[in-house]
Amino acid sequence: MEKNILISIVVPTYNNEKFLDKCVESILSQTYHEFELLIINDGSTDNTINVLQPYLKKDQRIKLHNTKNKGVSSARNLGISKAKGEYICFIDSDDWVEQDYLSQFVSKIQNPKTLIIQEIFQNRNSKKYTNTLYDIKKDLDVLMLEYHFMSLGSPFAKLYHTETIKKNNLTFNNLVSYGEDQMFFFQYITYIDSIYTLNYRGYHYNHNSTSLSTKIHPFISFYTYHFSLIDFIKYINDFCKSEKVLYKIYKTDWDIVEASIDHGFIFSKEVNPDKSLKILSKTLNKNYYKYSNSVSRKIIYILLKTSQYKLLLFYKKMIFKYKTKKNK
């Protein structure tokens, strides 16, 4: 295959002057040169513009788009709309990539119906990939469980086909503050045939608590954040049914359920959780009980379904205290 495929690299950034230099430098140092770099400045109020100016003068492949602060999903969606490349990849502005990051992707491109995925540095949950082509309809449960795709649905370290995204109007949901990355990922794979896992680790993930992709947007209340968790659970539930995925995936989805309870109530000051927990309870079907991977989760399911919300929160708090004490 000729190596003249244009890749669009979308980098959303917000008040990230501390890490931006390293990110941009790593991209401009790529051994594969056929790319455009779309930097979406999401209303930064720090020194971001001044950091970028020398690069804009230095390399015409860089295109800067300044917007009002609307959040990472809106920034990525703008990048998609501006992308001219045949393929597109996303890089967070506080992360950086190895010099052959793009060339590794391009070397494995076979057809638009295959999503290519690389490994990520600094991710303890990731399993070492093999150079393997997986059929989505046959092997999705393996990918979800063995490679933790439920929790690793983030857009980076993946090479998407731009036309597939645009033709099917795929976007990141900017009304959801949790799971929007995974929702985009699951939407995308319904339009392709296969996933190729690449035995290469070229993406350095920096868990920066102030980054655009990890922070909750200012206009999203904690209450809205909690309901985004519930929306995400509903989405995964519907996805599993529509795609006829093995229900073992529900075991993985339990992490999302418990996160909804913990962050919605255990770690917050929600005064009257009954209404929220009732809605959460309605999102869970019997498969959550049948395929739960612990006695504790079966108890949580029963307490939710029998509306024993006070007892549920007490039970969860006891579990949290026990785990905290055990880890000391």
pLDDT of 289-327, one tens digit each?
Answer: 877 778 888 899 998 988 888 888 888 888 888 777 776
Do 248 and 181 lie in one domain? The reply is no
Inside any domain, residue 244: yes
Confidence (pLDDT) at 314: 87
**Residue 112: which CATH number?**
3.90.550.10
Do 266 and 185 lie in one domain? The reply is no
Do 26 and 138 lie in one domain? The reply is yes
Do 278 and 176 lie in one domain? The reply is no
Do 193 and 107 lie in one domain? The reply is yes
CA dist list (Å): 73 to 65, 92, 146, 205, 307: 15, 12, 27, 18, 35
Inside any domain, residue 209: no
Residues linked to residue 132 through DSSP beta bridges, in sequence order: 197
Do 11 and 154 lie in one domain? The reply is yes
Do 90 and 190 lie in one domain? The reply is yes
Confidence (pLDDT) at 212: 52
Q: Are 251 and 148 in contact (CB under 8 A)?
A: no
Do 196 and 254 lie in one domain? The reply is no
Q: Tell which of 140, 170, 204 closes a domain.
A: 204
CA distance 244 to 106: 32
Confidence (pLDDT) at 231: 67
Exposure b/e, 88-102, CB count within 10 A at least 16 = b: bbbbbbbbbbbebbb
Angle subtended by helix axes 180-189 and 222-242, to nearest 10: 20
Q: Is the dihedral of CA 206, 208, 213, 214 positive or negative?
A: positive
Task: Look up the domain containing 96 and give its range.
Answer: 7-204
Do 36 and 179 lie in one domain? The reply is yes
Exposure b/e, 31-41, CB count within 10 A at least 16 = b: ebeebbbbbbb
Inside any domain, residue 104: yes
Specify burial of residue 284 (Cβ count, 10 A radius: 0-12, 13-18, 19+). Answer: buried
pLDDT digits (tens, 9 = 90+) for 54-75: 999 999 999 999 999 999 999 9
Inside any domain, residue 117: yes
DSSP-based three-state secondary structure for 104:
helix
Residues of the chain with pLDDT under 50: 1, 124-125, 209, 214-226
Specify burial of residue 322 (Cβ count, 10 A radius: 0-12, 13-18, 19+). Answer: exposed
Q: Tell which of 204, 230, 263 closes a domain.
A: 204
Confidence (pLDDT) at 324: 75
Q: Tell which of 173, 204, 235 closes a domain.
A: 204
Do 31 and 117 lie in one domain? The reply is yes
Confidence (pLDDT) at 268: 57
The domain total for the chain is 2
Tokens of 62: 């860089």
Inside any domain, residue 217: no
Give the Cβ contact number of residue 218 at 10 Å.
8
Do 121 and 270 lie in one domain? The reply is no
Do 242 and 169 lie in one domain? The reply is no
